[in-house]
Amino acid sequence: MCPGSFDPVTNGHVDVVRRASGLFDEVVVAVLTNPAKRPLFTLAERLEMIGESLAGIGGVTVTAVESGRLLVDFCREVGAGAVVKGLRSGTDFAYELPMALMNRHLTGLETVFLPGEPVFEHVSSSLVKEVASHGGDVSGLVPDLVLARLLERVRPVGDTKGHQSGA
Ligand code: PNS
């Protein structure tokens, strides 16, 4: 199980899912709503973008998890034996470790941490959105189909006639 809010999916996410698919016969990518974050894209949009971005990777399915559900309950329902999370840095580990321990506390569900490709170490959904909204170039950091949707959604600061502003 590769869970996340994927707002939007980045090439770092794609790298981790590709690595997970090399380790496990089946990988379920679960798109959730993180109540601590205000998403730029709707759940349906995030689901569509990540589905298209992962289409070439075998054994991968993408699904949405309704808000209010615990990840461990969803994992139990679909028979997922482990959560897979990518790590870019020690900061990621500090963020992920309490969730991994809590999930194990709740149902015994284990988490497997995979080091991501270092070339994506600086790539996060939040930074990509911030840079794009200020007119910076984020090509190569997200799949091309995501780049197009992102540029439609954000409006660079100071650009009054450029891209459409989102929610
Ligand atoms: O990409 P994110 O936002 O860091 O992903 C965090 C996410 C959505 C995987 C996490 O918030 C989560 O698992 N939410 C589902 C509700 C849940 O189970 N919360 C307890 C986690 S220990």
Read off the pLDDT of residues 80-107 as tens digits, 9 standing for 90 and up.
999 999 999 999 999 999 999 999 999 9
Catalytic residue among 19, 46, 85, 88: 88
**Atom 6 (ligand 1): residue with closest C-alpha?**
4
Read off the pLDDT of residues 109-132 as tens digits, 9 standing for 90 and up.
999 999 999 999 999 999 999 999
Q: What is the pLDDT of residue 35?
A: 87
Distance CA 124, CA 142 (A): 10
Distance CA 1, CA 139 (A): 28
pLDDT-based confidence at 158, cuts 50/70/90? Answer: low
Q: With residue 110 as reference, give the H or E element that holds it.
A: strand 110-115
Q: What is the pLDDT of residue 166?
A: 38
Q: What is the pLDDT of residue 155?
A: 73
Answer whether residue 157 shows pLDDT above 90. Answer: no
Answer whether residue 25 shows pLDDT above 80. Answer: yes
Task: In the chain, count H helices and then E strands.
Answer: 6, 5
Q: If you measure from the C-alpha of residue 6 to the centroid of ligand 1, how many angstroms do you get, rounded to a whole number?
A: 11
Answer whether residue 161 shows pLDDT above 80. Answer: no
Q: Is 32 near ligand 1, meaning CB less than 6 Å away?
A: yes
Q: If you measure from the C-alpha of residue 3 to the centroid of ligand 1, how many angstroms do you get, rounded to a whole number?
A: 7
Distance CA 127, CA 129 (A): 5
pTM of full prediction above 0.85? yes
Active site (annotated) includes residue 122: no
What's the rounded mean pLDDT across residues 63-84? 96
What's the rounded mean pLDDT across residues 56-67? 95
Q: With residue 127 as reference, give the H or E element that holds it.
A: helix 125-133
Which position has the token pair 């996410």? Answer: 13
Active site (annotated) includes residue 125: yes
Answer whether residue 162 shows pLDDT above 60. Answer: no
Q: Is 5 near ligand 1, meaning CB less than 6 Å away?
A: yes
